[in-house]
């Protein structure tokens, strides 16, 4: 039976969701699950979680904890990455220091200054991980969940182009799920496809029985004026296509919202929101730790619909399905740069991953995507060449940053963030 390595398994809530989705497939009940984390305490909780999930679902998986990454990777078939370099302390730094300068973010994990510095912290780790995969499991499929998604998958294509890599994110699925719920249409039986970049793709097709569901959405918005106070609804009104990430995320990718206190209030945006979310994640870990110590059952979410278990199931059993994934743009979206990482539909079967070429996406969507891609491209070049100037130019290219701060302020802010992150940043960029 195939083996799956979870790298960063101490992300116990996400690990639990992925394991539950995996082991609910009868064909995968005998998987070998290898759990790796550098934090011994978190690894103990991850192991306890895995053993409980395995038992409660009646599966027969072999659970192998490993503090040593090489042991977790040796000969494995699938590698699932969910590492967050720097943890909650780095998240606070990415959000709080820019806020002191007047640059507001909500999540800070995708693009903009938070995405740039999260990427710079993560690239050295990815280089090491992918190098280990090249030695120990060169045929494994690398399933990346770690943000900044587009930058990390792009970096993987630079340092380890031989490794089969796909970036996975549930944002497209949950966008459609929630929209169907909003308009009162069952998700089952709908057809949907999106394309663009991660966290800023566009719902290009959303239909049922051959009929577009967009007219129903417009009717629902017209009947509920409060919906117009949401960032994504405003983007839909102005662009004609619904974006595939939450309003909280989407607000920081544009220069439309966070630079103005009036816009922040109008669209009910909560700056620095991810700090609270991160604190909740820590509390969830502590709760799981206590529950396992008391032999209490952990909550198992039904139908988390994560893509990694579906990919693994399809490749192992040959079951055909379509997901959305993040891959290098090689003829997938005509009006976004070749070599960048884009999000498109992907067919999965026993032969692997088959991305769907989407042609050109709507011009107005591509225009916004290009700013996002430029930030990622400059960040990749900064790390590849050791250019401090490119780091600052990457932030300067971000619409939210450049509309909130002067270039001089951006340079000073990058200096302070670099010093604050210290050894987490590669030496030639400090």
Domain boundaries, the chain: 3-167+298-302
| Mean pLDDT in residue range 48-58 | 97
pLDDT confidence band for 301 (50 / 70 / 90):
confident
pLDDT of residue 1: 84
Q: How far apart are CA 145 and CA 84, in angstroms?
A: 10
Instruction: Please say whether the beta carbons of 166 and 80 come within 8 A.
Output: no
pLDDT at 79 over 70: yes
Give 109-152 as a DSSP string.
Answer: SSSHHHHHHHHHHHHHHHHHHHHHHHHH-TT-EEEE-PSSHHHH
User: For the chain, what's the residue count?
Assistant: 430
Catalytic one among 170, 313, 354, 421? 170
Q: Is 421 a catalytic residue?
A: no
| Mean pLDDT in residue range 34-54 | 97
pLDDT of residue 224: 96
With pLDDT > 70 as the criterion, what percentage of the chain qualifies? 100
Summarize pLDDT for 195-229 with one digit per residue, the tens: 999 999 999 999 999 999 999 999 999 999 999 99
Instruction: Please say whether the beta carbons of 77 and 352 come within 8 A.
Output: no
Residue ranges of the binding site:
147, 169, 199, 266
Query: Which range (45-54, 206-215, 299-308, 351-360) has the least confidence?
Result: 299-308
With pLDDT > 90 as the criterion, what percentage of the chain qualifies? 97
Q: What architecture does CATH give domain 3-167+298-302?
A: 3-Layer(aba) Sandwich (3.40)
Instruction: Please say whether the beta carbons of 202 and 362 come within 8 A.
Output: yes
pLDDT of residue 305: 82
pLDDT of residue 304: 64
| Mean pLDDT in residue range 150-170 | 98
pLDDT at 302 over 80: no
Instruction: Please say whether the beta carbons of 340 and 150 come within 8 A.
Output: yes
- Model-level pTM? 0.97
Summarize pLDDT for 82-105 with one digit per residue, the tens: 999 999 999 999 999 999 999 999
Instruction: Please say whether the beta carbons of 82 and 145 come within 8 A.
Output: yes
Beta-bridge partner residues of 66: 36
Summarize pLDDT for 254-272 with one digit per residue, the tens: 999 999 999 999 999 999 9
| Mean pLDDT in residue range 6-21 | 93
Find, among 355, 352, 370, 343, the residue nearest to 175 by Cα. Answer: 343
The overall average pLDDT reported for the chain is 97
pLDDT at 12 over 90: no
3-state DSSP assignment of residue 401: helix
> Tokens 């991660």 identify what position?
198
Beta-bridge partner residues of 323: 346
pLDDT at 232 over 70: yes
pLDDT of residue 166: 98
């Amino acid at each position: 039976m195939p083996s799956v390595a979870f790298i960063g398994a101490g992300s116990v809530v996400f690990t639990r969701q992925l394991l539950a989705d995996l082991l609910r497939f009868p064909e995968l009940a005998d998987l070998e699950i290898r759990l790796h984390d550098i934090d011994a305490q978190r690894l103990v909780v991850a192991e306890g979680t895995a053993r409980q999930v395995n038992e409660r679902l009646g599966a027969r998986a072999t659970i192998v904890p490993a503090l040593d990454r090489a042991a977790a990777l040796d000969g494995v078939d699938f590698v699932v990455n969910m590492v967050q370099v720097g943890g909650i302390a780095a998240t606070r730094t990415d959000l709080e220091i820019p806020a002191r300068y007047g640059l507001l973010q909500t999540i800070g994990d995708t693009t903009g200054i938070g995405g740039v510095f999260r990427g710079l912290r993560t690239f050295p780790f990815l280089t090491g991980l992918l190098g280990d995969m090249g030695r120990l499991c060169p045929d494994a499929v690398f399933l990346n969940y770690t943000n900044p998604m587009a930058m990390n998958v792009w970096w993987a294509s630079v340092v380890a182009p031989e490794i089969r890599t796909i970036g996975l994110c549930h944002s497209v699925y949950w966008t459609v799920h929630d929209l169907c719920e909003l308009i009162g249409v069952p998700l089952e039986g709908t057809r949907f496809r999106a394309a663009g970049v991660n966290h800023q793709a566009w719902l290009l097709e959303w239909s049922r029985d051959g009929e577009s569901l967009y007219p129903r959405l417009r009717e629902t918005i017209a009947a509920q004026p409060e919906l117009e106070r949401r960032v994504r609804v405003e983007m839909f009104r102005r662009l004609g296509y619904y974006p595939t990430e939450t309003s909280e995320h989407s607000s920081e990718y544009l220069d439309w919202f966070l630079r103005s206190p009036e816009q922040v209030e109008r669209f009910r945006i909560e700056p620095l929101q991810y700090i609270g979310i991160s604190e909740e994640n820590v509390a969830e870990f502590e709760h799981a730790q206590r529950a396992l110590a008391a032999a209490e059952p952990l909550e198992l979410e039904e139908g988390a619909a994560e893509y990694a278990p579906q990919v693994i199931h399809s490749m192992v059993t040959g079951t055909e399905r379509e997901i959305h994934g993040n891959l290098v743009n090689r003829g997938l979206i005509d009006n976004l740069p070749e070599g960048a990482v884009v999000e498109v539909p992907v067919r999965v079967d026993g032969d692997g991953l088959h991305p769907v070429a989407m042609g050109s996406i709507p011009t107005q969507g591509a225009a916004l995507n290009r700013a996002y891609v430029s930030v990622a491209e400059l960040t990749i070049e900064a790390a590849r060449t050791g250019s401090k100037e490119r780091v600052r130019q990457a932030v300067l290219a971000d619409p939210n940053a450049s509309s909130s701060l002067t270039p001089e302020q951006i340079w000073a802010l990058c200096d302070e963030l670099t010093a604050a992150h210290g050894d987490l940043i590669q030496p030639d960029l400090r």
